Structure 1
Amino acid sequence: MDQSPATDGGDGMEHMPLDAVVLAVVAGLFAVVCGVNDGGALLATGLKLPTVRPLTGILVLVAMVALVPLGTHQVALTFVTRLASFEEPGGKVAMTVAVVAAVTVVATLGAKGRPTSLTLAVVGGVTGAGLGYGLPASPGWTVLVLAFGLAAPFAGGLLGWVAIRLLVATTTARGLWRWHWAGFLLQTFAYAANDAQKMLAVFMIAIGFTGAPVAYTSLVAVLFALGTLYGLPKAGRTLSREIIASRPAHGVAAELAAGTAVIGCAAVGMPVSMTQAIAGGLIGAGVAQGGGRVRWYTTGKIVSAWLMTLPASGLLGWGLALLVKGELT
């Protein structure tokens, strides 16, 4: 791929091939959906503390999504080149199918009261669509990404268990706000370095660039912010109230735990779900102070949705790719 947006001898979308135009539009809509699904979850853990106001939190999150990929975008490259080769002919069509499959699965499970990971759905959709369209795929990378994805909530849970004990032992209620700011900044940085880059990856394939031009990272951030504003109330309620009967310290512990776990995965280019890591952190913090705080029925519903997400999106992506390829050839 070229470093600059690919056009057919001119500037603007009117000179792009139809498959690229369609994928660019899908990429924009996908960024909004990511904001609805992910943005509220990132702010939810701190809603019981007045330290980071929702508007301030959204502005910080948007700035991170726009700026962090300028320094590192290894996770975006994993989506673009390591799970399947979308530089091949038909790659843009296959990625469009992958995004549609992922969003369909997440929306279907969400409508049934089973919120799930959009990142996990994208991994499944990308793998399935790539195989269905006949693109070169890497089973080894797929298995490795899946292993990291499954491990992330457990790592978040363990770190949350440790973090809540340290906070209780060393921090007063008045001093908790400093840890909340530290945890929030760590968490938003981690999201921008990992989970958020699935949005950039779709634009990379649609437009045809390998770096992270600030114009596109900024566009992703603005579209993401629009979705976050819409999705904050519902997503915030799900994580901050339904998983555990949480107190402010639980949210701070989950932020610190999730941020640490996800940054570790980003360092090796492994896409993982921040919402899964946050949920794991909340559960770990709740268990550390007595398992009765955890609402295990709701937790079970969420975990079962996680387990269904990747195979469902993979199968749907594979089937849709076969169908579309048959229609186009």
Structure 2
Amino acid sequence: MDVVVLIVVAGLFAVVTGVNDGGALLATGLKLPSVRPATGILVLVVLAAVVPLITHRVAVTFSTRLASFHEPGGKIAMTVAVISSLAVVTALSLKGLPTSLTLAIVGGLAGAGLGWGLAVSPGSVLLVLAFGVAAPFAGGLLGWVLIRVLVAVTSARGLRRWHQAGFLLQSVAYAANDGQKMLAVFMIVFGFSDARLPYTSLVAVLFGLGTMYGLPKAGRTLGRELIASRPPHGVAAELAAGTAVIACAAVGMPVSMTQAIAGGLIGAGVAQGSGRVRWYATGKIVAAWLLTLPASALLSAGLAALVKGIASVELS
């Protein structure tokens, strides 16, 4: 496959990741003026470029532990996985079911590996899935605890400081974990296994462009549709999600930041009365999560097998 196509697919994936994830990272704090959107995007871009230089364990998990993409045909299988994951996320979003691109790419990589006949590690896939399921529950539990602490001990001025700390923690956690799926795609495309500043910088800039485009929509979904949100809920969700996701990064397990944030918001809402949570919207999001990974895996497996079959016929 032409290297230009591979680079375009990898770049598109980074932009769409910004649309899907970047806005969600900023949306929880939009009701507080302590982190302006422009400043927040700049912080996200810088950390997305720098943090993988310190630790890129999650990128390695994406690129090597799910399937052996270094084998012949691995780059084509990766391309099929990315296209399939983007197609599933787009289709669900058009149906009003916002979902996790992380779940989609995990399913896509595993499915494409199977469809192409690469060595796939069922144990690694199941372990990643287990951590992915646990992350929103951990975020919810932490959000439930933290909202009570914030309300009890924090003034309005203090809340702004907690927001700044929470946003920074959340951004570092994203750069150390969920955001590394973008770097992993470039690792597979160019065949390297370490983090390199030119690539992390390129990924970060593309991510930032997507974030600018996706912020308004993400703000509506998380800030208004999920719960009747007030500033303390957003701060509690930031702190909760950041803590849960950075803990998973420490063991190299990729999890979805958007799922952890949603869990933190729901936990914070329930702590102050379950009536704050819009359960219908919550149900839609959970349904989308449940559909995403298997749909992406099945689509990518079918497409990978089809592409491999066509390539085999042409070579014969």
Q: Return 5+ residue gaps in structure 2 as ranges.
A: none
Q: Using the alignment, how far apart are the partners of 1:19 and 1:97 within structure 2?
A: 14
Q: Are 1:286 and 2:242 matched, yes or no?
A: no
Q: Are 1:66 and 2:49 matched, yes or no?
A: yes
**2:130 aligned residue:** 147
* Letter of the 2:55 counterpart: T
Q: Using the alignment, how far apart are the partners of 2:228 and 2:2 within structure 1?
A: 47
SS at match of 2:289: helix
Q: Are 1:214 and 2:159 matched, yes or no?
A: no
* Letter of the 1:82 counterpart: R
**2:286 aligned residue:** 303
Q: Using the alignment, how far apart are the partners of 2:95 and 2:187 within structure 1?
A: 32
Percent identity over paired residues: 78
**1:47 aligned residue:** 30
Tell me the alpha carbon deviations over residues 132-186 of structure 1, each in whole angstroms, 9 at most, x when there is no partner: 0000010000000000001100000000001101101111112100100000000
**1:86 aligned residue:** 69
| Aligned positions of 1:179-328 closer than 5 A | 179-328=162-311
**2:85 aligned residue:** 102
* Letter of the 1:97 counterpart: V
Q: Using the alignment, how far apart are the partners of 1:81 and 1:280 within structure 2?
A: 29
* Letter of the 1:305 counterpart: A
Tell me the alpha carbon deviations over residues 265-307 of structure 1, each in whole angstroms, 9 at most, x when there is no partner: 1111111000000000000000000000000000000000000
Shift in Å at residue 20 of structure 1? 3.4
**1:160 aligned residue:** 143
Q: Using the alignment, how far apart are the partners of 1:327 and 1:272 within structure 2?
A: 34
TM-score when normalising by structure 1: 0.94
Contact 1:286–1:293 (CA<8 Å) still a contact in 2? yes
Contact 1:128–1:313 (CA<8 Å) still a contact in 2? yes
Q: Using the alignment, how far apart are the partners of 1:139 and 1:30 within structure 2?
A: 25
TM-score when normalising by structure 2: 0.98
Shift in Å at residue 19 of structure 1? 4.2
SS at match of 2:156: coil
SS at match of 2:157: coil
Q: Using the alignment, how far apart are the partners of 1:88 and 1:95 within structure 2?
A: 11
Aligned residues: 312
**2:8 aligned residue:** 25
* Letter of the 1:93 counterpart: I
Q: Using the alignment, how far apart are the partners of 1:130 and 1:74 within structure 2?
A: 20
Q: Using the alignment, how far apart are the partners of 1:225 and 1:133 within structure 2?
A: 33
Q: Using the alignment, how far apart are the partners of 1:239 and 1:245 within structure 2?
A: 10
Shift in Å at residue 80 of structure 1? 0.8
Q: Using the alignment, how far apart are the partners of 1:43 and 1:230 within structure 2?
A: 12
Q: CA RMSD in A?
A: 0.6
Shift in Å at residue 21 of structure 1? 3.0
* Letter of the 1:327 counterpart: I
Match of 1:113 among 88, 96, 99: 96
